[in-house]
Chain A
C-alpha cells in the first residue's frame, strides 16, 4: 500500500509541476468551451443544432479534457520507460500492479478536478447565455464521468507502455481526434444519423459523452443513460485489464 501511495504521489507531482499539463489539460479545454459557446451564439435557432449549447457542450468538453489526461499519462509512462528510472524502480520491491495502480490513480484525481473546473466554467457560461443547467445533474455527472476518465487513462498507460515518448503522443492525438468527432463532442452524430452514427456507435467515445450529457439533464432512461454508461464501464474495465496486462508483460520482457 505504501509503495502505491509513494509512486502515485511522485506521478501526481511530476505532472502537476509541468506547466504544459495546465496548458493542455485545463487552458485548452476551457478555450474550446468559450469558442464553442461563442460559435453557438451565432447559430440560428431554426438550425436546431444543440451540440454547442452549454448543457450539451459542458460534458463534451469534460470528455475532451480527459483525452489530454490520457496524453499526459502516456508521456509520463513512456518517459519513465525510456530513461533508467523505471529500471531502477524494478529493482525495488514494487510489483507490476503497484506500478499500474500508481500511474492510474493520480490521473483519476487530476481528471476529476479538471472536470470540476470545466463544469464551474460551464456554469458561468450557462448564466451568461441564459441556459438552464441542473447543478445536481452536473455534480452527479462528475461521478458518472469517472469510468470514462479511467478508460482514457488506461489508453494512455497502454500507449506509454508500448511506444516511446515520440510515438505515444502521436497515437494519443489519433484518439483525441477520434473522440472529438466520433465521440460527438464537436459534432452531432445523433441528428446526422446514417453511416456516421453507426461508426460513432461502434466506438466507446460516443457513449462517454452521451451518458454524461444525459446525466447533466437528469435523463436516466435506458437508451440515453443506462446502456451508454454500461458500455463505458465495460470499456474502462477492458482497457484497465488490457493495459495492466500489457504493462506486466512488458515488465517481464524488460527483465528477461
Chain B
C-alpha cells in the first residue's frame, strides 16, 4: 500500500488554480520532496493532504484512506509542521510538547516517555524550561517540528522545515530528519536544493500547480540533461514556466 496517493488532486481559488490535477504516489517510509518556486502550490498540496483544505476536485489517500471520508482516522496518523512556526507562546518548551502529546495519549507515563525521546532527538533539553516566545527563531522552529513528531505519525509533513535556520542548525535538523528516515513517510518542501538532494529519496518539481517532473536526483538530471539538482531544477522550472505562457 502506498503511504500517499493522489488522483487528479486539484485546488482552485476564485480565479486561480493553486494545484492543478496532480497525481502522486509516495511509498511507505519514503522521503519525498516537493520543490517549486514561490506560489507553486506546495503548501496548498500539503494542506489538502493533511485535511486542512478541501480539494476542489480529485482525491487523495493516506495509507489507503480517503482524505474526503476518513479524515478523522487520518488525523491520528499524520503530523504537520506548518510553514509558519506554530507554538503556544506562553508555554515552556516542555509544556508545549506535553500539550501536544496529551492530545494523542492519555497515559502520563507514555506522555513523559515521548517527551524525553523527542527532547533528546532535537537536543531540546537546554531550552526545556524556557517559554516558547523567548526562543530564537531557529529553536522555535525545532520545537514546532518536534511537536509534529511527538505523536510518532506514520506520515509527516514538513513545510519548509529549515526556513530561517543557520547552517549549523540546518545540518543538525538534517541529521534529525535522517534519523527518522524509513521510520515514517515524510513529505518535505524546501527552497534549498542541497537539502532536497541530501535528504530525499524522490523529488517532485511543481510549477504553477502542476508536477512537471518527478523522480530521483539522477532521474531529474537525465530528464533535463543537466548535472546537479540545482541545474536540473532551473532547466525544468524555466521550461515549465515558458510552457505556461
Contact segment of A6-14, A60-68, A221-229: A6-14
B103 with A14: CB separation less than 8 A: no
Binary flags per residue of A89-125, CB closer than 8 Å to B gives 1, else 0 = 0111110000000000000000000000000000000
Could you say which of B51, B95, B99 has the most chain A C-beta atoms within 10 Å of its C-beta?
Answer: B99
Chain A interface main SS type: helix
Chain B residues, CB < 8 A from A1: 106
Q: How far is the CA of A2 from the CA of B78 in the complex (A)?
A: 19
* CB within 8 Å for A255 and B51 given contacts A13-B91, A14-B89, A93-B72: yes
What is the CA–CA distance of A93 and B153 in the complex, to the nearest angstrom?
12
Interface segment among B79-87, B165-173, B232-240: the answer is B79-87
Please tell me if the beta carbons of A87 and B105 are within 8 angstroms of each other in the complex.
Answer: no
Determine whether the beta carbon of B87 is less than 8 Å from that of A91: no
Q: Which of A7, A13, A14, A83 contacts B84 (CB 8 A)?
A: A83
Count of chain B residues with a beta carbon within 8 Å of a chain A beta carbon: 31
Complex Cα spacing A109 to B70, Å: 36
Q: Are B54 and A90 in contact (CB under 8 A)?
A: no
Which residues of B have CB within 8 Å of A90? 51-52
* Chain A CB within 8 A of B123 CB: no
Cα A18 to Cα B131 in complex, Å, equals: 12
Closest to B99 in A: A10
Residues in A whose Cβ lies below 8 Å from that of B53: 255-256
A93 and B76 form a contact (CB under 8 A) = yes
Bound Cα distance from A18 to B90, whole angstroms:
8
Cα–Cα distance between A7 and B102 once the two chains are bound (Å): 9
A88 on the interface (CB 8 Å rule)?
yes
Neighbouring A residues of B131 by C-beta, 8 Å: 17
Q: In the bound complex, do residue A3 and residue B86 qualify as a contact, i.e. CB atoms below 8 Å apart?
A: no
Determine the distance from Cα of A1 to Cα of B100 in the docked complex, in whole angstroms. Answer: 14
| Interface flags, B110-150, vs A, CB<8A=1, else 0 | 00000000000000000000010000000000000001000
In the complex, what's the smallest C-beta–C-beta distance from B164 to chain A, in angstroms?
A: 15
Contact A93 B75 (CB under 8 A): yes
On whether the beta carbons of B52 and A91 are closer than 8 Å, the reply is yes
Q: Mark A70-90, 1 if CB is under 8 A from B, else 0.
A: 000000000000011101101
The residues of B that contact A17 with a CB separation of less than 8 Å are 90, 131
CB within 8 Å of B: which A33-84 residues: 83-84
Q: Chain B residues near A250: list those with CB within 8 A.
A: none
Verify if A166 is at the interface (C-beta below 8 Å from B): no
Q: How far is the CB of A4 from chain B (nearest CB, A)?
A: 10
Q: Is A198 among interface residues, defined by CB-CB distance under 8 A?
A: no
A256 touches B54 (CB 8 A): yes
Of B88, B103, B147, B151, which contacts A94 at CB under 8 A?
B103
Does B104 touch A at the CB level, under 8 Å?
yes
Q: Tell me if B50 is interfacial: C-beta within 8 Å of chain A.
A: yes
A7 to B83, alpha carbons, bound, how many Å?
A: 22
Are B51 and A6 touching (Cβ within 8 A)?
no
Return the chain A residue nearest B71 by Cβ.
Answer: A255
Q: What distance in Å separates the Cβ of A79 from its nearest Cβ neighbour in chain B?
A: 9
Task: Give Cα distance in the complex from A85 to B52, angstroms.
Answer: 13
* Least Cβ–Cβ distance between A9 and chain B, in angstroms: 7
Which of B72, B82, B91 contacts A10, CB < 8 Å? B91
**Who on chain B is nearest to A90 by CB?**
B52
Which residues of the other chain, A, contact B86 by a CB distance below 8 angstroms? 83-85, 87-88
Bound form: Cα–Cα A243–B90 in Å? 25
A residues adjacent to B (C-beta < 8 A): 1-3, 5-7, 9-10, 13-14, 17-18, 83-85, 87-88, 90-94, 255-256
Can you name 5 extra interface pairs (CB under 8 A) apart from A87-B82, A91-B52?
A: A6-B103, A84-B82, A88-B86, A92-B75, A93-B72
5 nearest A-B residue pairs (beta carbon): A6-B102, A88-B86, A84-B86, A17-B90, A84-B84
9 A-B contacts, Cβ less than 8 Å apart? Answer: A1-B106, A7-B103, A10-B88, A83-B86, A84-B82, A84-B86, A91-B52, A91-B75, A91-B80
